[in-house]
């Protein structure tokens, strides 16, 4: 479906062939065991046991695979997908390069678990500089990075990694496959949290991994089957249903982020504004060349934790919540989760509210929050 537009691809992704009397998207199949052939047993049907086999999950994998341009496997959460990737590919003595400014739990997993089993872990900022990749088994980047929103040239990084014999995996959570397709840019694997903008309704947990390598997908599938890190049928069905509106949701969220970024840039009481779609942002040149659309997420600093609280309390359309990419605008003070950010650092995820309403509400909330107070 690559010749079709984004909206059409999202609406049609992963749907079965139409049959009279059937729904467009079949309802979720709730089953642990399935009937087996009494004589031949396993192998006569695609479904045998719910952990490796579920038709609802396979339809979702087909849909996400179409959008990412590869074969897909879904997981219970984004963290399950990324830890599955790392534990599938890395062995004692291997070296992995991870983003120093990416999702904090991934860095914690690397130091708590990977180093404990003898994997050498190196960290590099998303925008570089990067160490030599000689002897490296896997390079993992998150672009745009969460929460700082730096961007890296995926094609150039893939060329450098492959020249050294390393694999490149790209966390595509913030961009989504409508923002960029890392496999088209030379990445070996894509990993992402589907909890966020991909499904966008803040009502499920999901992760996925995609690749064009049969060998890599086979290894990940075996790991997932063995560990049981699968999503439930209803979450898979909800995710597939939500994909149909991805193009529409991202269009409004990106437009809102652009307008909010303009507002924040005009205010002297806001510092550290980052949004890769804004000319003048350090990531703009790479992002505008590499990405097909900009995310609905931006970041900035309000100077103190107390001022962040006052801002959110005064806002009518901004909720205090972690995660991002949903229909409702949310603000997350990342330091509270142990992330190495300043106390006043905010990751703002723009929802699908009317742009004028959201901009007016944020402006009024910033006015009501007042200046940074002494001792905060």
pLDDT tens-digit readout, 176-189? 999 999 999 999 99
Q: What is the CATH number of the domain that holds 239?
A: 3.40.640.10
Do residue 39 and residue 75 come from a single domain?
yes
| Domain-located, residue 1 | no
Residue-by-residue DSSP string for 176-214: -TTT--GGGGT-SEEEEETTTTTT-SS----EEEEES-H
Q: What is the CATH number of the domain that holds 357?
A: 3.90.1150.10
Q: Rounded mean pLDDT of the chain?
A: 96
Do residue 220 and residue 293 come from a single domain?
no
- pLDDT tens digit string along 24-63? 999 999 999 999 999 998 888 999 999 999 999 999 999 9
Distances (CA, A) of 203 to 77, 144, 240, 282: 13, 23, 13, 34
| Domain-located, residue 375 | no
Do residue 61 and residue 157 come from a single domain?
yes
| Domain-located, residue 162 | yes
Do 320 and 331 form a contact (C-beta atoms < 8 A)?
yes
Tally of domains within the chain: 2
| Domain-located, residue 350 | yes
pLDDT of residue 372: 86
- pLDDT tens digit string along 111-163? 999 999 999 999 999 999 999 999 999 999 999 999 999 999 999 999 999 99
The reported pTM is 0.96
Full residue range of the structural domain in which residue 180 is found: 6-243
Collect contacts of 317-321 with beta carbons under 8 A, ≥24 apart. Answer: 317/351, 317/353, 317/357, 317/358, 317/361, 317/362, 318/348, 318/361, 318/362, 318/365, 321/202
- DSSP type of residue 135: T
| Domain-located, residue 179 | yes
Do 104 and 123 form a contact (C-beta atoms < 8 A)?
no
Both tokens assigned to 298: 């931006």
Q: In angstroms, rounded to a whole number, what is the distance separating the alpha carbons of residues 82 and 134?
A: 23
Residue 375 binned pLDDT confidence (cut-offs 50, 70, 90):
low
């Amino acid at each position: 479906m690559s010749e079709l537009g984004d909206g059409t691809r999202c609406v049609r992704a992963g749907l079965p062939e139409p049959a009279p009397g059937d729904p467009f998207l079949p309802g979720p199949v709730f089953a642990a065991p399935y009937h087996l052939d009494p004589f031949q047993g396993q192998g006569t049907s695609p479904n045998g046991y719910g952990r490796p086999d579920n038709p609802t999950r396979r339809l979702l994998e087909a849909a996400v695979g179409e959008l990412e341009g590869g074969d897909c496997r879904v997981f219970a959460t984004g963290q399950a997908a990324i830890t599955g990737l790392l534990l599938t590919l890395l062995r004692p003595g291997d070296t992995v390069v991870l983003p120093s400014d990416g999702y904090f739990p991934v860095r914690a997993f690397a130091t708590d678990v990977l180093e404990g089993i003898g994997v050498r872990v190196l960290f590099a900022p998303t925008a570089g500089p990067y160490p030599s990749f000689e002897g490296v088994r896997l390079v993992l980047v998150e672009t745009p990075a969460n929460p700082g929103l730096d961007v890296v040239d995926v094609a150039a990084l893939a060329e450098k990694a492959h020249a050294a014999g390393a694999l490149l995996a790209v966390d595509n959570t913030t961009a989504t496959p409508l923002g960029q397709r890392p496999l088209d840019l030379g990445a070996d694997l894509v990993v992402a949290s589907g909890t966020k903008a991909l499904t966008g309704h803040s009502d499920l947990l999901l992760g996925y991994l995609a690749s064009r390598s049969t060998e890599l997908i086979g290894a990940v599938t075996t790991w997932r089957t063995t560990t049981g890190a699968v999503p439930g049928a209803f979450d898979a069905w909800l995710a597939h249903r939500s994909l149909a509106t991805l193009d529409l949701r991202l269009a409004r969220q990106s437009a809102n982020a652009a307008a909010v970024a303009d507002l924040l840039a005009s205010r002297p009481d806001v510092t550290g504004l980052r949004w890769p779609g804004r000319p003048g942002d350090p990531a703009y040149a790479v992002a505008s060349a590499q990405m097909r659309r900009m995310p609905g997420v931006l970041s900035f600093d309000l100077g103190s934790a107390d001022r962040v609280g006052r801002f959110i309390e005064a806002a009518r359309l901004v909720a205090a919540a972690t995660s991002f990419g949903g229909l409702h605008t949310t603000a997350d003070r990342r330091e509270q989760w142990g992330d190495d950010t300043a106390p006043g650092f905010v990751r703002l995820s723009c929802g699908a509210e009317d742009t004028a309403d959201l901009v007016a509400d944020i402006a009024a909330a910033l006015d009501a929050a007042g200046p940074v107070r002494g001792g905060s």
